[in-house]
Amino acid sequence: MRPILLKGHERSITCVKFSADGDLIFTAAKDLVPTLWYADSGERMGTYNGHLGAVWDLDPSWDVRLLVTGAADQSAKLWDIETGEELQDYHHPGPVRSVCFDDAAQRIVTCSDKFSEKPAVISIFEVNTEDPRKSRNTPLQQFEIPNGTPKATRVAFVHYDGKLDSAILVAYEDGNVALLDCDTGDVIIEEMLHEAQINRLSLNKDKTLLFTASADCKAKMIDVANLEVLHTYSTDRPVNAIVPHPSKDHVLLGGGQEAMSVTTTSGRVGKFECRFFEMIHGEEFARVKGHFGPINVIAINPNGRSYASGAEDGYIRLHHFDQDYIEMQDPVPEDIKPPYQEEA
């Protein structure tokens, strides 16, 4: 797989996401300018200019009309994807760490850090889908995270108790994960799933499985309904990103040595590969090298034919899977193979 290098950012990459139909890639970095690319060729289409701080997260809507971004300038912004026009600015009390649309793109959930005397908050904003410019810039719901408690690093809408997008999944810097009621902010379930900060989370398409990547050198597959750990993927380095393959029982992990120590080692020693694991049994079967810094984020095309990784080196590497991988059949482990029977 010969990668296409997307070089449009001047600083380390913080987020990479494909559109729902897989033809576009959205990227963010610490250089203030979210960027749009063609997923097939890697050609840059345009940028979204307006943030005054590092952009930590972004999320496109399901219909690829709207884009929400969150940045260190204490704002989340709503954009028209096609024109690049800024439609709304959602002010926050601190730097915005994570943003996410619900499935219908009618609400946005965000989390912001503590800043000065202002506490960290989780906010829900309503989006006017008919005319996004008329969306209210004040929160529909806002839940404070008490001072002295770990900050939230990631948020996402999830389904709970048969109701679509009725809960907020929150990951914290101490390794804790909680489900919060969207209306009240009450904790539904809470589990300590990691021993260190959760750097990234991702969900499968129907939001029944949660995948977490942590600085404790582990990644986990978790049942969203009860936060039960179904499998642990152990590595020898901090894990910054994890994403499930949409059509194969595979997960892709990325990470590497701490960014502050990167200059003291070579790429080989720093272990900046994208690693492929069999999802159910946890066996690693492939690695893809190339980055010169820790991988911060991985995204996979919804059609399962390509993936992109973004790293501390400022590059996004777009890989189109070769035909051998696309046609690959997962082997059946020996312990579950049926016994051989002779034909009558």
Q: Which amino acid is at 297?
A: V
Confidence (pLDDT) at 123: 97
- Distance of alpha carbon 259 from the chain centroid: 19
**Phi and psi for 140 in degrees, rounded to 5?**
-70, -40
Confidence (pLDDT) at 100: 97
Instruction: Report residue 1's pLDDT band, with 50, 70 and 90 as the boundaries.
Output: confident
**Phi and psi for 264 in degrees, rounded to 5?**
-90, -5
120 and 151 Cβ atoms separated by less than 8 Å: yes
Apex 244 CA angle, 177 and 65, nearest 5: 90
Cβ within 8 Å of residue 68, ≥6 positions away: 58, 59, 61, 76, 77, 78, 79, 99, 100, 101, 108
In tens, the pLDDT along 193-240 reads: 999 999 999 999 999 999 999 999 999 999 999 999 999 999 999 999
In tens, the pLDDT along 281-331 reads: 899 999 999 898 999 999 999 999 999 999 999 999 999 999 888 888 765
Instruction: Report residue 343's pLDDT band, with 50, 70 and 90 as the boundaries.
Output: very low
Q: In whole angstroms, what is the distance from residue 317 CA to residue 330 CA?
A: 26
Confidence (pLDDT) at 117: 85
Residue 56 pLDDT greater than 70, yes or no: yes
Average pLDDT over residues 58-83: 97
Domains and CATH numbers, the chain: 4-331 (2.130.10.10)
Best CA proximity match to 255, nearest among 294, 308, 212, 215:
294
Residue 137 pLDDT greater than 50, yes or no: yes
142 and 155 Cβ atoms separated by less than 8 Å: no
Confidence (pLDDT) at 329: 76
Burial of 100 (0-12, 13-18, 19+ CB in 10 A): buried
- Rounded to two decimals, the pTM is 0.90
* Residue given tokens 């059946």 in the structure block: 332
